Amino acid sequence: MDKITILSLQQMKDEKKKITMLTAYDFPMASLLDQCGVDILLVGDSVGNTILGYENTLPVTMEEMIHHTKAVVKGRKRSLVVADMPFMSYQVSIEEAKRNAGRLIKEGGAEAVKVEGGENVEPVIRAICEIDIPVMGHIGLTPQSIHRMGGYHLQGKEEKQRGKLLADALAVERGGAFALVLEVIPLSLAREVTQLLKIPTIGIGAGIHCDGQVLVINDLLGVISGFRPKFVKKYTNLQEIIAQAVKEFISEVSEEKFPEEKHSFT
Ligand code: KIV
């Protein structure tokens, strides 16, 4: 299969072929997802809450993003690797944004970066694109804005918010982004954005009309129990499978059933 590039993603939109994106944070998972044929591996700053045990994505650092991006890049052959720019790595100045985007490419090995925001980050997107680093946008529910949003709520429900999100989507495209994540917005708004933009939209909690879909891998696999947002489909329950295997190991060790002779050296 051909290597996925930002050009192939545009071609997929133009040919109405759906794009798939999943988060990945380490080498074995990246390698597995790549072999399964996922188009984009997103090293999301969701690594903060899914892997590092943080309450939200805000504490995630550049060093952590580079560390996980390196591991994911080693595991992939075909997928495009996009790395999230963590909170405060692009908000202070254009210069810092360019330098940090550059680090994710140069040190991490990513092929593109993702930033959250609309009209407010248009100059940042433009500046990063001008140094030949492809940028993915992200609007709607943007987890780095948790304190402004007052929680992880549906965005774009009211007419005024809808207009603002349309303006944000256009700003991201105008800035030069190659794709746009739409997170937790009504499906009618996602359809409007998808029809309006030339670049592909990738939805999470944004309905069927987006050009592609993304999920956090831990949610899809059912690794952690607890609150599951409406838009998440748990395709399997890995937590149960892992717990079962580990309990079996514990009881076999205590009952001296493991290791058997075949696991031992004579
Ligand atoms: O960090 C992340 O995992 C994301 C996806 C939810 C799109 O930004």
Q: How far apart are CA 119 and CA 168, in angstroms?
A: 5
Structure tokens that stand for 4 in this block: 């996925």
**Ligand 1 neighbours (beta carbon < 6 A):** 23, 42, 44-46, 84, 138, 181, 204, 214, 216
* Residue 56 backbone phi and psi in degrees, to 5: -150, -170
Q: Taking the CB of residue 207, how many other CB atoms lie within 10 A of it?
A: 17
Task: Give residue-wise pLDDT tens across range 206-255.
Answer: 999 999 999 999 999 999 777 789 999 999 999 999 999 999 999 999 99
Residue 116 Cα: closest atom of ligand 1: 8
pTM: 0.97
One-character DSSP codes across 102-162:
HHHHHTT--SEEE--BSGGGHHHHHHHHHTT--EEEEEES-GGGHHHHTSS---S-SHHHH
pLDDT at 227: 79
CA of 44 to the centre of ligand 1 (A): 5
Distances (CA, A) of 145 to 37, 119, 142, 152, 223: 32, 14, 6, 9, 25
Which residues are part of the catalytic machinery?
183
Task: Give residue-wise pLDDT tens across range 157-210.
Answer: 999 999 999 999 999 999 999 999 999 999 999 999 999 999 999 999 999 999
CA of 216 to the centre of ligand 1 (A): 7
pLDDT at 31: 98
